Structure 1
């Protein structure tokens, strides 16, 4: 059974249908890219797959859970524990250090503080940020900030990580390093990634590329 499975997902805004019956299965350990022209529905699809928005119709199962059968409170808990996010502009909190930013989702989940800090340190070290644990985002480069965001996405050992244009704000060298990082984490941790991107290199590197066109997926 796929780690993520959608059946006939539909979403429209007013009279405009954006998703027109999305049927999609993604296996554990896959790195999947989602591509398509601006306005094709990529962001809407990612928001629904990431449980940030609810569809008008259809179902989404993640790790065996029919997520939209949950009430808002239980869905928020599921999202925090099972899903990680990496955004184009990293969304790190400027008043917290790298270590504190990474720890936040685990603290929200009520996890043990000491164990959380140890895992955060381990993740940041794995991502070559051991020298940045106590630095604030403003004291880090763009690439370092984005790797910190990746560590934050991984802190709760999520079933799946969604990335929305993760290298869109990086120069070519940092973008390449970030791309390779996704595949290293897949190989070393068995992590699953779904990545919305306009970057053709990253899309080509993915195990599978899904194209969304006029609200329908191909691939």
Structure 2
């Protein structure tokens, strides 16, 4: 599903990633852990094609994304990768339904098809009664579930999550963690999750430990 080979990344004279190589299989829930400054978010951004490595190669679902031009890469990202961030990144002026529709509309499907897909995903995540609510009218847990619905609406190959439960209270955090595993079991969804949450990391299929830009254990 995902293969990284000898990934390096520098910011000026600082080398953040120092030859990262590993493979993630379809249907795995994998956590990436390590101290602040270890390179976790930078690695996730490279895996998600939001940034390019200085050297090395990234394959996603059999495609070498390292060779893609920006326009082609943008379309590939929208189709193949879903993102969940710590602070949900929902657009405040749009309803839950409209937020979830956005990736489908960007992909070029009709408004009616995007609406149908978004409604199905919100219903699947138990949010059918909240579709017309804007983010300010939703709880923290509901916002993150809307963000997960948005990430899933195009049926991507992988979901990349950066501290997805970092802003949630204990109950909502546990519910979000259960949701990830339910989605893997029911949809065969692949997840890569950067987290400081030891409880979440302990439940994932595999934990990749980063220290000073290197993988110290898989």
Q: Fold-level match, TM-score > 0.5?
A: yes
* 1:193 aligned partner: 191
Aligned-residue Cα RMSD (Å) equals 0.6
3-state DSSP of counterpart to 2:141: helix
* Deviation of the 1:187 alpha carbon: 0.4
Corresponding position of 1:73: 71
- Tell me, in whole angstroms, the C-alpha distance in 1 between the residues paired with 2:104 and 2:120: 14
Partner of 2:115: 117
8 Å Cα contact 1:8/1:59 also seen in 2? yes
Aligned mates of 1:18, 1:107 — CA distance in 2: 35
* Runs of 4+ deviating beyond 3 Å: none
Residue 19 of structure 1 is matched in structure 2 by 17
Shift of 1:118: 1.2
Q: Give the CA deviation at 1:78.
A: 0.5
User: Do 1:9 and 1:58's aligned partners in 2 also have CA atoms closer than 8 Å?
Assistant: yes
Q: Deviation at 1:125?
A: 0.9
Q: Number of residue pairs matched?
A: 217
Look up the SS of the partner of 1:111 in the other structure: coil
Gaps of 5+ in 2: none
Q: Alignment partner for residue 135 of structure 1, among 133, 136, 156?
A: 133
Aligned to 1:158, what secondary structure does the other structure show? coil
Residues 1:31 and 2:22 aligned together: no
CA distance in structure 1 between the aligned counterparts of 2:22 and 2:66, rounded to whole angstroms: 16
Given the two structures, how large is their TM-score scaled by the length of structure 2? 0.98
Partner of 1:91: 89
Of the three residues 35, 44, 54, the one matched with 1:56 is: 54
